[in-house]
Amino acid sequence: MDTIISFILAVVGWLESFWDLVLDGAIWLLEGFTKLLGFVFYTIFDGLLLVIESFFSSLDLSAIAFNYAAQWSSLPPQTIWLVNQLAIPQGLSLLVGGYMIRHVLNIIPSAFSRM
């Protein structure tokens, strides 16, 4: 009788450990599938943002805006050409962007320290 009970306990223990292995395998597959889906969506989204970034970086809006402003202010064409060749509009846009980023980054720590 003890042999049958010990055999049944051994079978139940094996079934429990087997079921744990099945659950661990299913969780492993599910995590791998979610990581794969995340990687696919990240790659597609990253490619889309790369295309958008390259499109906007190809536009030189600062020079266009300066040309219109210079033409309205009646600057001579030689001065407009020199300013564009020195890339002053692009430099000013870089400086303004840098200052904006600096001010935003200075605001963030004070917002968290005053909670």
- Angle at the Cα of 104 (from 103 to 107), degrees rounded to 5? 90
Domain containing residue 55: 1-59
The model scores a pTM over 0.85? no
The per-residue pLDDT of the chain, averaged, comes to 83
Domain boundary, last residue among 34, 59, 84: 59
Residues (pLDDT < 70) of the chain are: 60, 110-115
Residues 38 and 74 in one domain: no
Residues 66 and 114 in one domain: yes
With helix as H, strand as E and coil as C, how does 46-71 read? HHHHHHHHHHHHHCCHHHHHHHHHHH
Residues 45 and 68 in one domain: no
Residues 65 and 46 in one domain: no
- Angle at the Cα of 111 (from 106 to 114), degrees rounded to 5? 125
According to the model, what pLDDT value does residue 66 have?
Answer: 75
Residues 23 and 33 in one domain: yes
Residues 49 and 65 in one domain: no
Residues 26 and 54 in one domain: yes
Residues 47 and 75 in one domain: no
According to the model, what pLDDT value does residue 111 have?
Answer: 63
Residues 47 and 97 in one domain: no
Tally of domains in the chain: 2
